[in-house]
Amino acid sequence: MTSRQRFLKALELGQPDRLPVTTHHVMPYFLEKSLGGVSTLDFFDRFGLDAIDWVDARMPDIEQGDYLEPISSGGEVGEAPCLCSDRWRIRRERIPKFGCRAVRFLIDTPKKTLSTVLRSEVHTDWVTERLLKQKSDIDLIEEYAPIPVCNVELVNRRAEILGERGMIRGSIPGFDIYGQPGCWQDAAALFGIEALILQTYDDPKWVHALLSVLWDRKCRYIRTLADARFDLVELGGGDASSTVISPWIFHEFVAPYDARLIQEAHAVGQRIVYHTCGGMMPLLEAIADMGPDAAETFTPAALGGDTDLAEAKRRIGGRLCLIGGFDQFHYFAGCRAEDTRREVRRCFAAAGEGGGFILSPSDHFFDADLELIHAYADEARRCVYKG
């Protein structure tokens, strides 16, 4: 089988020729530090992994008069151009005092100026000032914030170039500047997860109003995906994990919105992977009930999750594809190659039976011993299905 055929067979809950093996997002920091700045696809080729090409396909809706912010992209926080319009203008201010890269975004609307602050270092970006400071600010988002559309031509061009080497992945765009694919996770990025959790008790009507605004934005984007040759599109995010919120919050505020987005995606021919980095075990059936084609990341307890991979396979493995499960922190650095190979075999024994499983690290990695990535990929390629 080709890598793409292998992925698709697993996503269909079928049994490919061997275990599909890949990684979560390959971080630019790792590529630069450990491999001299090679491309992501070069990384997959070097280690013999099944490739994924992640495509950011959002673009402004020209017909609505939206446009990309007229700045050059320098690769630092705040440098990727944002969506703008005549009623949603973005200004940036560098903040030098933090000792790391920091940008204040000022968003001018006809009624009010909103602001948010992002900080960054070589590993990640994070929000230090939330965009939503008053509950009425969601009205400005609903009325003025541009909604992206899919750049179908870009997706299909990348799919043509990749061919059978692997699969094309995308995501439902989070809120521009800083956001997450799922409705709840996007709301947490805009308002703060602790404050959002408290509002589910203090003012649930407002939380539902916020989630409805975000749902509508994402739904309208999804409806532009009909002709895009994605193999898998990501929804969800870590703020919906059971190590962050209760099952009650998930059932009340997460599932009703994301389940409908999954239905919309299926209606335009797209597969969805539901991403939950963190605790998953109390939510397994709830995730499967939303109807995604796959779920990730099945984070082990040693990494702060709670996954029993064999139990997850038993409970929901017949309903969707499982992606992840590998402990990249303990087995990509500081151990013997035999230990890495043993962890691969453990994952295969736990979740590989009958297919419907894609082996992947359960999250990003920034540092790794190259010989251990080789061992990881080589041992996975030896996990062959019979019959």
Domain for residue 139, yes or no?
no
Contact 189, 195 (CB under 8 A): no
Is the domain of 254 the same as that of 312?
yes
C-alpha 136: how far from chain center: 28
Is the domain of 329 the same as that of 347?
yes
Is the domain of 303 the same as that of 320?
yes
Amino acid at 8: L
Number of domains observed in the structure of the chain: 2
Q: How far apart are alpha carbons 311 and 241 in whole angstroms? A: 17
pLDDT per residue as tens digits for the range 292-322: 999 999 999 999 999 999 999 999 999 999 9
Is the domain of 225 the same as that of 126?
no
- Please state the pTM of the whole predicted model: 0.95
Domain for residue 138, yes or no?
no
**Mean of pLDDT values over 15-39:** 94
Per-residue DSSP letters for 85-98? BTTBEEEEEE-GGG
pLDDT at 354: 94
Contact 176, 86 (CB under 8 A): no
Q: How far apart are alpha carbons 4 and 264 in whole angstroms? A: 24
Q: How many residues does the chain have?
A: 387
Per-residue DSSP letters for 250-288? IIIIIHHHHHHHHHHHHHTT--EEEE--S--GGGHHHHH
Domain for residue 177, yes or no?
yes
Residue with tokens 């059978």: 164
Using alpha carbons, select from 137, 160, 292 the residue that is nearest to residue 210: 137
Is the domain of 150 the same as that of 101?
no
Choosing from 84, 110, 133, the residue where a domain stops is: 133
Is the domain of 97 the same as that of 215?
no
Is the domain of 305 the same as that of 203?
yes
98-102, 311-315, 373-377, range with the lowest pLDDT = 98-102
Residue 235 in tokens: 């929804």
Amino acid at 319: R
Is the domain of 33 the same as that of 109?
no
Is the domain of 248 the same as that of 316?
yes
Is the domain of 55 the same as that of 67?
no
Residue 199 in tokens: 């509002």
Choosing from 133, 166, 186, the residue where a domain stops is: 133
How many CB atoms neighbour CB 208 within 10 A?
16
Q: What is the CATH number of the domain that holds 32?
A: 3.20.20.210
Per-residue DSSP letters for 277-344? -S--GGGHHHHHHT--SEEE----GGGT----HHHHHHHHTTTSEEEEEE-HHHHSSSS-HHHHHHHH
Residue 361 DSSP SS3: strand
Domain for residue 387, yes or no?
no
Domain for residue 294, yes or no?
yes
Domain for residue 192, yes or no?
yes
pLDDT at 241: 95
Cα torsion 378, 383, 384, 387 to 10°: value is 180
Using alpha carbons, select from 211, 308, 295 the residue that is nearest to residue 253: 211
* Burial of 66 per CB tally in 10 Å (0-12, 13-18, 19+): buried
pLDDT at 99: 72
For 133, 234, 347, the CA distances from 341, given in Å and listed in that order, are: 49, 28, 10
Is the domain of 186 the same as that of 297?
yes
Choosing from 133, 154, 187, the residue where a domain stops is: 133
Residue 141 DSSP SS3: helix
Is the domain of 176 the same as that of 80?
no
Determine the structural domain holding residue 76 and report its residue range: 63-133
Domain for residue 45, yes or no?
yes
State whether the Cα torsion 292-298-299-301 is positive or negative.
Answer: positive
Task: Indicate the pLDDT class of residue 98, thresholds 50, 70 and 90.
Answer: low
Domain for residue 108, yes or no?
yes
Task: Indicate the pLDDT class of residue 122, thresholds 50, 70 and 90.
Answer: confident
Task: Indicate the pLDDT class of residue 96, thresholds 50, 70 and 90.
Answer: confident
**Mean of pLDDT values over 344-367:** 95
